[in-house]
Amino acid sequence: MTDKEKHIKTNLKILRNELEQLFDFFEKGLDYYKMVYEFWNAKDILGHITFWHESFARNISDLGKGIKPKPLKGKLSEVNKQSVETTKNESIENLIKRLKDAQVTIEEYIFLDRINLIPYKKGSRDYSRSEHLEVVSNHIHKHLKDILKKYGTTYKQN
């Protein structure tokens, strides 16, 4: 195993851990409509994370299949608003299923050497496979930390 593959494997393990903690939180049967941010409740945040995870999965899958990816377009604030609006009417169970499906797709392609850089969003820089995993893990970690703080749950880190 190369150093690059080891780094990807390590970052994938971190991402899986963040996702497991997120799934664990959303399986507790709490009131997920409690506001975490000014305009977003916990369920909105799950929709937001799912939306972005599916974008990552689509982009890496397209690259893996030799198709030109079509990254999300627009200002980050607009795309983030869209992430919540488009997932608002989904059940928590369905969002978790979609998030898990996206993760399966990511894992299917993340070790392909022919994939060099993965687009994130139009107008922003592309990321290496390892960097992309890191960015996604940090993103989920930040939101999970905010959620757990709001719900008064202690955050366990590895």
CATH number at residue 31: 1.20.120.450
User: Residue 18: what pLDDT?
Assistant: 98
* Tokens at 87, concatenated: 């997932």
HEC-encoded secondary structure of 104-123: HHHHHHCCCCCCCEECCECC
User: Residue 158: what pLDDT?
Assistant: 38
Asked if residue 157 is part of any domain, the answer here is no
Asked if residue 41 is part of any domain, the answer here is yes
Please state the pTM of the whole predicted model: 0.93
Instruction: Please give the backbone phi and psi of residue 123, each rounded to the nearest 5 degrees, phi first.
Output: 90, -10
Q: Distances in Å between the alpha carbon of 63 and those of 16, 106, 129? A: 22, 11, 11
Q: How many domains does the chain have?
A: 1
Asked if residue 158 is part of any domain, the answer here is no
User: Residue 153: what pLDDT?
Assistant: 59
Asked if residue 63 is part of any domain, the answer here is yes
- The sign of the dihedral angle between the CA atoms of 55, 72, 24, 19 is positive
Q: What is the pLDDT along the chain (158 residues), one digit of tens a residue?
A: 889 899 999 999 999 999 999 999 999 999 999 999 999 999 999 999 999 999 999 999 999 999 999 999 999 999 999 999 999 999 999 999 999 999 999 999 999 999 999 999 998 999 999 999 999 999 999 999 999 999 985 444 43
Asked if residue 130 is part of any domain, the answer here is yes
Q: CA–CA separation, 44 vs 46, rounded Å?
A: 5
Strand partners, 121: 72
| Residues, the chain | 158
Cβ contact 121:72 at 8 Å: yes
Q: Could you tell me the residue range of the domain that residue 130 belongs to?
A: 3-150
Asked if residue 129 is part of any domain, the answer here is yes
